[in-house]
Structures are given as C-alpha cells and as structure tokens.
Amino acid sequence: MGPANDARTKSTEQTIEAEDSDPFASSPTPVRCSPPKPVVKPISRTAARPIDSSDPFASSPHQSVPTTSKEPDIIITSPPARGPAPKPLPKKNATWDPISSSAPEIFSFDSSPPKKRDVINIDDDSNGENGSDDDLPDISSFDVSKMRRRSQLQRSQSDVIGSRSRAKPTASNKQSAADKTREKEAKAAAKELEKEAKKREKQEAKEAKLREKQRNAALAEVNKLRTDKKISTPEMMVDIPSSLNSTVTTALQTMLEPFDVQYTTWDSPVENVIKWRRKVRSRYNDDLGLWEPIPLRLQDEKHALVVMHSDEFVKIALDDGVSPHAEKMKKHFPEHHIVYLIEGLTPWMRKNRNLRNRQFASTVRAQEANTGANRRNKPAQEYVPEEKIEDALLQLQVMHEVLIHHTMIPMETAEQILTFTQHISTIPYRKQRDQATLGAGFCMESGQVKTGEDTHDTYVRMLQEIVRVTAPIAYGVANEFNTVSKLVEGLETRGPTRLEGVKKMANKDGAYSDRTVGQAVSRRMYKVFTGVDETSTDV
C-alpha cells in the first residue's frame, strides 16, 4: 500500500476506536425504546447530500469520500422522513476502503429488510477485494410499493397535534362560556317558574282550604235543628195587606222586628189577607241525609190568613155570604191552606146572649108595669140567633176545610199572627223529620221521651215506654236484670214467660211489693226485645 492508503487506514481506525473500543465484541441485544433522536452527521464540504429512504430499518447508503478529505465518515441512522420517495442518485465508481466501509449492502428483497445493527463489525468487510460496489444492488431496483409501511402510531406529530389542540379549545371555551351563560339563565328562569308555580299552588291550596272551611260552616249552619222556632223564624217574610187595621199593623211590625223577620205591604185581592214568603238557603239531600246550602231565593209559602172582625163576620153570616167569601179566597189563593182569624167573636156572642136575657127580662117587667106610664125608651138592640153564627162557623170548617182561630183584641191578633209565622217557618223541617222517623212505632216529637239521670235511670225509663209497663214493673225487671243484654239473654233462654212472677217494686229505693208481673206483660216484653219484624207496631 502507498502512503495515502496508510494514512486513510489510520484515520478510519481511529474513528472506529472512538466509537467502540472493542471492535470484535458481539452485537448487543437490541433494547426497545422510543424512536431515537436524529444524530447530526458531520459532512464534508465536498460530500454529496445524503439519500432519504422511506425504509425505517435501512442503513444510510455510503458515498465515495474524496481523497482530499481528512475527516472520517460517521455512520448514523436517521429517523424516517415523511414525504415522497427520493430520486435515486447516480452510482459513483469510487473505491471502497475495506476497513472503513462497515455499512451493509442494500439488496432488493420481497420481504422486509434485515434489522439494523447498531455495532459495526470490521470483519464483515475485511477483504478489500470483495468490497466492491458491483456486488450491491442498484438503487433503481428497489420496489418501494413492496416495502412495509411504518405504523402511523409511531409517527410523531406532537407539534401539529399540539397546535390543533391549542387552537380548538379557544372556540370551545367561548362556546362553553356562552352555553354556561344560557344554561345559567335557563336555570334561573326555571327556578323562577318553579317558585311561581309553588306560590300559585300554595295560594290555591289556601283558597281551597278557605272555601272548604266556609262550606263546612255553611253546611253546619243549614243543618242546625231548625225545628226550633228561634232558628227558623228569621227565614220568613210577612206580606201585610194595606187594608189591615192600623192598630194591628203597628203592633205586628213591632213584634216582628225582634225576631229578625222582614215584612212588606201589599194590596190583597181580598181584604185583610196576610201571606208569607221564605228565604230559602238550603235543600235537603235524600241520598246524604242532610241539608245542603244553595243560593238564596224567595219561595212563596202555601198559607193565607184572613183577618176578620166579629161584626163583619156576623154580617156575612146573616147575609149567607160565608160560602161566596170562601170560594173567593180559594180562587185567588189556590193550593193554599186558608186560615180565618176572627177578632172579637167570642165577646160578641157573650153580649148577644146577655142581650137575649135582658130582652126577656124587659118583656116580663113590661107586663107588670103600669100601662099609663109613657116612657121614651131607647131603640132595643136586635138579637141575633146563635144558631146562625154557629152554622156559619161549621160551614167554613166542614164544607171549605179552613182553620178558624179566635182572638179578643187587636194586640192578641198581632200576637197570633206572629205565632202563625213562627209555626209556618218550622213546617218543612218538621215534615222532613217525620219522614225520617216514619218507621218508628211511637211519637218522636221532642219532649215525648224523658231522659234519665244515669244508665240505670235511663234503662228504667226505656222500659216504661213499653205499653202496660208501669214504673213498679220497670223497677222490678231492672232489679232482676240490671242490663238490657242480660234481659235479652234471659228472655231467649226461658221464653215468653220468663218475667212472669217477677216481684214489682214499691218505689225506686228498692222496696218490694206483694204484687208480681203478669203473663200478658211478660209476653209483650218478650215480643218487643226478641222480635225481628220491622213493621211491628208493638211497643
């Protein structure tokens, strides 16, 4: 070898020794790691541009180094570059140094290229004669389409992705801020609507509760015991005829005011006829069994009262005008219950009777008196036979079915009109009560059944309501059977004659008498307490 070759060989050896102090060491086991960072390769000023390869496992091709360069060649592996495949460079016929040339030759294979070796073994190309470039395949013979593409997951796009990820959040942040504002406004509006709804529901519930309270109060008001005159009388309105005596009218108005009864004046088609109207606020519900409130309305009562003075009645009776007067009343007040209130008829009849007695006495005295004495006497009152008056009264009651009531003075007439007003006010309520207690076998009017002081007294009073059961019998039975259940058990066990022979009590203190309960009373009490017939009237 010449001096130039020796110098090049020494330079190459120094470079290799710098890279690896043990050139004959075997290749180390490759370690999996992240893609290596590109290594800067010092290139000679006169060296050609390295060839880019799309194969990540291929070694960079070697180029001929001019003899004028004193710098050693450094072999590096560069990361795969993205982009189109580079054009092949023309092959240079340079002489390769077998010592410095350690790069593997590139061949065209159908399969993947061999794995890159990180350690350079000098023995691979120790023979300088076999290191000719003629043994290497031409670059143009590479089939790029058959080469394995690198996975996209291994490509580093951190710079591009970072820029996009930084650009997108700007718009999304603006959008999210606007969305948050709208969402906040929507939540506030929904909260306000919910608040208004709750407030409205609360107000409606309060109003409903108030209405229910008012309804219950009205229901309790209309379901009071209206058979009491003090409660039912304020419902009435009295229509007073304009032809009525002023004394009676004034007294009647004065009496009606304390009872909160309204009154009006009207022109009656028949003289002195009083009628009534009712302020209806309730209606009876047969299904529920109670009175229900209804809107206020006025309803005419089917009662008419004729106020007649005794002198007027006597005149009608003597003229046979009783029947025409009754027919006239029925014509103007059909379907009404007619009442004749005659004022002063009883005193008139007493005076008329006294007049008859005086006339009889005067006749007797006149016969005994002297005929020569001429005295100027007052004109005698004419006597009216009582039979005619009584016949007129009977005709009204029997033929025309009217009610007749008598009074003495105008004040009593006004009081009687007030009494009729109070009585008429309770009629619908008493009818309803009687209808409800129609199945009872005895009178249910208030005051008919007395209440007891305690349980025993009530038990005794209950027994006394049975027909033919007197107080001594009731006390004797109560002493034998102190409760109703024991009495029923005794009657069911021993039969109808169980009470026969029970001693009567002389008084409620417990003193017995010698008398006993008879068989008839025992059978009656057995039938009352053990009978199951609803229609039975035995009490």
Pairing of strands 290-309, 337-343: parallel
Domain boundaries, the chain: 1-152, 159-222, 235-364+384-436, 455-530
Q: Which amino acid is residue 136, in one-letter code? A: L
Q: Where on the phi/psi map is residue 495: left (φ > 0), alpha (ψ -120 to 50), or beta?
A: left
List the CATH code of the domain at 235-364+384-436: 3.40.50.10130
Question: 231 with 430: CB under 8 angstroms?
Answer: no
Nearest to 402 by CA among 326, 333, 314: 326
Three-state DSSP state, 367:
helix
User: How many residues are present in the chain?
Assistant: 539
DSSP sequence for 408-430: SSHHHHHHHHHHHHHHHHTHHHH
Classify 408 as helix, strand or coil.
Answer: coil
Sequence-ordered list of residues with C-beta below 8 angstroms from that of 228, at least 6 positions apart, any chain: 426
C-alpha distance from residue 339 to each of 191, 274, 418, 420, 493 (Å): 73, 10, 14, 10, 58
Which residues, other chains included, contact 282 with Cβ-Cβ below 8 Å and sequence gap of 6+?
222, 223, 291, 292, 293, 294
Assigned token pair, 65: 């180094």
pTM, to two decimals: 0.50
Q: What is the dihedral of CA 279, 281, 283, 288, to 10 degrees?
A: -150
At 133 the pLDDT is 52
User: For residues 75 and 458, what is the distance between their CA atoms, to the nearest angstrom?
Assistant: 131
**Block mean pLDDT (10 aa), the chain, length 539:** 48 46 52 48 44 51 46 46 49 50 49 54 50 56 59 49 49 70 88 91 91 83 78 93 93 94 94 95 85 90 95 92 93 94 92 85 74 54 85 93 94 95 92 76 61 86 90 92 92 92 82 88 92 78
Where are the extended beta strands (E) located within 216-311?
236-241, 262-266, 273-285, 290-309
User: What are the φ/ψ torsions at residue 343 (nearest 5 degrees)?
Assistant: -100, 125
Helix axes 246-256, 410-425, angle to 10 degrees: 40
Residue 526: alpha-carbon gap to chain centroid: 53
- CB-based contacts of 90, cutoff 8 Å, min separation 6: none
- Enter the tokens of residue 204: 């409606």
pLDDT value of position 469: 92
Cα–Cα separations (whole angstroms), residue 330 to 43, 189, 267, 277, 315: 146, 75, 17, 18, 21
- Indicate the SS3 state at residue 406: strand
Supply the pLDDT for residue 116: 54
Are 499 and 460 within 8 A, CB to CB? no
User: What is the reported pLDDT for 355?
Assistant: 86
> What are the structure tokens assigned to 268, written together?
């009656």
Amino acid at the residue 5: N
Q: Cα–Cα distance between 66 and 43 in angstroms, integer?
A: 12
Q: Which CATH architecture has domain 455-530?
A: Orthogonal Bundle (1.10)
Instruction: Determine how many CB atoms are found less than 10 A away from the CB of residue 307.
Output: 27
Q: What's the pLDDT at 108?
A: 46
